[in-house]
């Protein structure tokens, strides 16, 4: 997979993308990530990429020309362009799984009041939000989306089944997990996990997953019951 990220602050990505599994995935050529400074596509001698909004109001808006030049330079027939914005569709595990099958993602990081609406109409079929809150810009959401997508690409995790057992993969939240020591500050690992009966362990994990979802995320629990009855 190739991921191009258009941003005003490319240096923000170098730390997170240069560590751990993200870096390993890049070294093993499972993914290619390219960072593009939006200012490089400005024809203004000072690299200006924003201007005041028509109609007045506080804040600035990203100009259409540099964004259009960047997208035109990067997009290929198979490219999927995504704008990171609070107005976008929620980032869910289902959406992450679908994006992991794409060959080429172009992530456009919003800033200030946003981008000129004509860019949305001309170039952007997808808009994604990581939550109902507003950040300084789309850089952190782009990092979140990229990591979520990369970790489900086959070969990135040491155990490919690990990602398939995560919370939200099957609507339900994940079950509790334990490791050694067997006892910690008076708390013991549940007996069923120490007996070596795989069928009982699987049933226990399913039960715990359902209970945790019912208690913590009633919305997901209702979705789980609806899908179960369908």
* Whether residues 121 and 9 fall in one domain: yes
pTM: 0.88
Nearest to 151 by CA among 11, 10, 24: 24
- Same domain? For 116 and 197 the reply is no
Shared domain check, 11 and 117: yes
pLDDT of residue 94: 92
Q: Give me the domain span that covers residue 144.
A: 2-151
Report the pLDDT value the prediction gives residue 132, as an integer from 0 to 100. 95
- The CATH number linked to 62 is 3.40.1280.10
Report the domain count for the chain. Answer: 2
Cα 77 to Cα 58, 69, 105: the distances in Å are: 37, 16, 11
The predicted structure's pLDDT at residue 160:
55
CATH at residue 192: 1.10.1270.20
For residue 54, is it within any domain? yes
Same domain, residue pair 102 and 190: no
Flag whether 134 is in a domain: yes
Name residues of the chain where pLDDT drops below 70: 159-168
Q: What is the pLDDT of residue 171?
A: 86
Is 88 in the same domain as 58?
A: yes
CA distances from 36 to 4, 39, 113 (A): 7, 9, 20
Angle at 107 between CA 111 and CA 22, to 5 degrees: 115
Which residues in 54-69 are b (16+ Cβ under 10 Å) and which e? eeeeeeebbbbebbbe
Q: What is the pLDDT of residue 119?
A: 96
Grouping H, G, I as helix, E, B as strand and the rest as coil, residue 223 is helix
What local confidence, expressed as pLDDT, does residue 163 receive?
Answer: 59
pLDDT tens track for 177-201: 999 999 999 999 999 999 999 999 9
Identify whether 110 is part of a domain: yes
What's the distance, CA 179 to chain centroid? 28
Whether residue 158 lies inside any domain: the answer is no
Identify the domain boundary among 119, 151, 183: 151
Whether residues 35 and 105 share a domain: the answer is yes
Q: What pLDDT does residue 165 have?
A: 60
**142 and 67 both lie in a single domain:** yes
């Amino acid at each position: 997979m190739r991921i191009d990220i258009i941003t005003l602050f490319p240096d923000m990505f170098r730390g997170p993308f240069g560590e751990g599994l993200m870096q390993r995935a890049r070294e093993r050529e499972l993914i290619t990530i390219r960072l593009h400074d939006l200012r490089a596509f400005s024809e203004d001698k000072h690299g200006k990429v924003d201007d005041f909004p028509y109609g007045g109001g506080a804040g600035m808006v990203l100009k259409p020309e540099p964004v259009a030049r960047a997208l035109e330079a990067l997009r290929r027939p198979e490219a999927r362009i995504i704008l990171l914005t609070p107005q976008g569709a929620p980032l869910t595990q289902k959406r992450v799984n679908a994006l992991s099958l794409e060959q080429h993602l172009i992530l456009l990081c919003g800033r200030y009041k946003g981008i000129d609406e004509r860019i949305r109409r001309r170039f952007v079929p997808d808009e994604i939000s990581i939550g109902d809150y507003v950040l300084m810009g789309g850089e952190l959401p782009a990092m979140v989306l990229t990591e979520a997508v990369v970790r489900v690409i086959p070969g990135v995790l040491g155990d490919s089944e690990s990602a398939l057992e995560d919370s939200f993969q099957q609507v339900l939240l994940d079950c509790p997990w334990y490791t050694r020591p067997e006892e910690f500050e008076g708390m013991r690992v549940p007996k069923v996990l120490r007996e070596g009966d795989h069928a009982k362990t699987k049933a226990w994990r399913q039960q715990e997953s359902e209970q945790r979802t019912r208690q913590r995320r009633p919305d997901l629990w209702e979705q789980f019951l609806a899908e179960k009855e369908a």
